[in-house]
Amino acid sequence: MKLVMAALVGGVVCLDLVTKHWALEALSGGRSLELLGGWVPINLTFNRGAAFGLSLGSDPRWIFIPVTLFAIGFLVVLIRQAGPGEGGRAVAAALILGGALGNLYDRIRWDRGVVDFIGPIDLGFMDWPIFNVADSAITCGAVFLAVSFILEDVRNRGESEGQGGGEDSGGEADGPVTDPQKDLP
């Protein structure tokens, strides 16, 4: 399973780097494209901030790089410790790890910020912020990780209730066993 996770991480990083390279070449000089009949605009921008363009000062990469390195270590441990029945957790962590590595590359290589190029997407009530493949992997992985934790918790609760010794478990009741006939006159 670990080899599959490594391939997933590598695939996300490669796809992210290739698409960012394409965006830098194809969209430089203010050029833009539209996909799906204009529903998905493609515009080159650089995000020096956090998710959704949140700003953290004039050069926040020195905040993001150590935080990202810590997160990478945590995700590697999460993937390595995933046991049988925890494949969803490992896949989710691999998606997040691949996305984190892709965006880390941009933060290390220059101070312009992370290359973003998909969007902004008009949802009718708001514009969805501009993003890239790494951001998509991180977002999908985070949602998938939350779902996997919830499903694991539900499964673990079901297993522990089955071993609890109550009436539903088929085990004996807790406490002393008394003969109801013995107490009658």
Active site residues: 116, 135
Nearest to 46 by CA among 20, 68, 71, 22: 20
Instruction: Report which residue type is found at 9.
Output: V
46: part of which helix (H) or strand (E)?
strand 40-47
Nearest to 15 by CA among 136, 104, 108: 136
Strand order in the sheet with 32-35: 32-35, 40-47, 114-118
- Check whether the bond before 129 is cis (ω within 30° of 0): no
Q: How many whole angstroms separate alpha carbon 129 and alpha carbon 34?
A: 16
Helices and strands of the chain, counted as H and E runs = 4, 5
Q: Residue 82 in contact with residue 1, Cβ under 8 Å?
A: yes
